[in-house]
Chain A
Amino acid sequence: MVGHVEYCLDNVDSTTRRRLDGIDGVTVTEERCLQRCGDCHSESFLVVDGELRTAETHAALLAALREDE
């Protein structure tokens, strides 16, 4: 069960931003910078319950989140 998702503003598009903010039952934190700049620069990522998750797209990350719920 996912409790907390953090994302970098520079790493998401507006669609992902809306979808993340709409997830029920999960604390979602938007940050200007999560100090994961290397990952941010090269791929899509979220920090889920303190751990880094990366994928080629945010759609894939969101799909994985839904599977965890």
Chain B
Amino acid sequence: MNVLFVSIDSLTRYFLDVYPGRDVEFDVETENLDRFAERATVFDTHYAGSLPCMPARREWLTGTQEFLWRPWGPIEPFDDPLPRLAREDGVLTQLITDHFHYFQHGSHGYYEDFNGFEFVRGHEYDAWQTAPRDPPEAVYQQITNVSADDPHGTGYLNRSQYARNVADKEPSDETEFFAPQVFSKTADWLRRNQDWDEWFCYVDSFDVHEPFHVPEPYASMYTDEDPSDPDLVNWPFYGRVDEGQSELTEREIDFVRSQFAGKVTMVDRWFGRVLDALDETEAWDDTAVVVTSDHGHYLGEHGWIGKPGAPLYDVLARTPLFVWHPESPRRGERVDSLTSAVDLYATVLDLLDVDVTDTRHSRSLVPMLEDRSDGHRDWALYGYWGSSVNVTDGQYTYMHPCDESVDAYCHSTEMMSAYGWFTPREPRRDAESGAYLPYTDSPVWRYEAPSNSRHGSPLLFDVTDDPEQQRDLVGEDDETVREMQRLLRDALTALEAPERQFERLDLAPNSS
């Protein structure tokens, strides 16, 4: 069977009609995701695992719940990347993306195993265009705090890069924007590669990710503001909306939300071209289609914007997942069972019929799709490396803080900055080496970096009764707190998490 895997980055799921549970102030048009959801199996209780972008991709592509061991980084030599396993089994593999992090230093190894890759240049900080020296003012003023990004600066991750990258795009021509390019190329690839016996096409759209810079008609679709007003930003800093550099007025938040919603609709319209191509090529009967996202994006919920050092509420952690399996009796149905991002690795291998004995932390969803089996998993873990650790059983979400006085361990064959997204300027001369990982006998570096908690005390929510997570049950339902702590210990023990994790979380392994 062929597999088309589509990630739509930062697709906050409650913006989709398919996933109600929190009110959106406008009716966001997503007719193509809606029509796909009618055909596919919709997973209601799907959670991210390792966050943010590249950690999520290592979950999908290697089945590794990496945040317990290391932060954002490369594919490791002891990983078995999905495209490599597929091509070794005779499956043609293709990557189509505008996600520049695949090509940024510090995160190599993700694209190299595909038979072919298409990279649409220019999104976010993609180090692409260097001219014009003066970035186009209209774009530049809306994407940055001008005090933060010197338009002539040569430092890393300067937002004027984006303004230069889009300088030649015609604002009234949406076909020149990113999601339209990615999905057009995907539709084209589907039409041109019908002669192959079996293929795996992995499409990673950086949109809906910020900057929320969208052409008309989407920019005006959900706002009465002038979308070109230089006083309105479409790429706000991450953080609290009520203080510091990330502070936003209600008007600014409303505008950002409208531009995000516009981008969701733009993505949806061009995703529809992919569905059209599947129709035209009559591919549905021998093609599985997986559509998901890596995480959501705070847009004022709980007082936060972006993906800052906030508790991992469901806005970020609970993600959309739709799977079309042509032979599933669950087509057109919804599944309540708890599932995790890391499961998509084994799922795709299973759909491709690639025989793999060890899928590390990943459990295939195919038995649920083919046999209606339930009880897929009792827990799902999610989080950022070095921070709080979160667990859900599908009804409750429990966020467990870490002790910031106990450093976390970073494990990798490479030395990476624990928090910055760069190769470190200096080697970690204090690193030890050894076979510290439970899933490989390969030696790795191990070194300490500070723990960073997102909240001082535990947080517990019943997301069945309280999907917006407004009522913290800690202090009110201590029995469930203890049960969720036990579940967290069970999960960490099952994954053979480092002892240091238990120390920094102040949890005893396997105690009752």
Within 8 A of B (CB), among A40-61: 40-42, 47, 50-52
* Contact for B155 among A8, A39, A50, CB less than 8 A: A39
| Chain A residues touching B, range | 20 to 34
Digitize A1-37: 1 where CB-to-B-CB distance is under 8 Å, 0 elsewhere.
0001010111100100100000000010111111111
| B420→A10 contact, CB < 8 A | yes
- Would you call B419 an interface residue if the criterion is a C-beta within 8 Å of the partner chain's C-beta atoms? yes
Shortest Cβ gap from A17 to chain B (Å): 7
| A47→B422 contact, CB < 8 A | no
| B309→A31 contact, CB < 8 A | yes
List of A residues within 8 angstroms of B450 by Cβ: 9, 14, 17
CA distance A33 to B452 in the complex (A): 11
* Contact for B244 among A6, A17, A36, A37, CB less than 8 A: A6
| B244→A50 contact, CB < 8 A | yes
| A10→B244 contact, CB < 8 A | no
CA distance A52 to B425 in the complex (A): 22
List of B residues within 8 angstroms of A32 by Cβ: 309, 384, 386-387, 419, 452
Shortest Cβ gap from A54 to chain B (Å): 11
By beta carbon, the residue of chain A nearest B425 is A41
| B243→A40 contact, CB < 8 A | no
| A6→B245 contact, CB < 8 A | yes
Within 8 A of A (CB), among B222-264: 237-240, 243-245, 247
| A38→B156 contact, CB < 8 A | yes
- Would you call B494 an interface residue if the criterion is a C-beta within 8 Å of the partner chain's C-beta atoms? no
| B148→A6 contact, CB < 8 A | no
A residues whose Cβ falls under 8 Å from a Cβ of B: 4, 6, 8-11, 14, 17, 27, 29-42, 47, 50-52
| Extra contacts besides A31-B238, A34-B239 (18): CB < 8 Å | A9-B418, A9-B452, A10-B417, A14-B450, A27-B243, A29-B239, A31-B308, A32-B452, A33-B419, A33-B420, A35-B148, A37-B157, A37-B420, A38-B149, A40-B420, A47-B244, A50-B244, A50-B247
Q: List 28 A-B contacts (CB under 8 A).
A: A4-B243, A8-B420, A9-B450, A11-B420, A14-B450, A29-B240, A29-B244, A30-B452, A31-B238, A32-B384, A32-B452, A33-B421, A34-B239, A35-B148, A36-B148, A37-B157, A37-B421, A37-B422, A38-B156, A38-B157, A38-B158, A39-B155, A41-B420, A41-B425, A50-B244, A51-B147, A52-B147, A52-B148
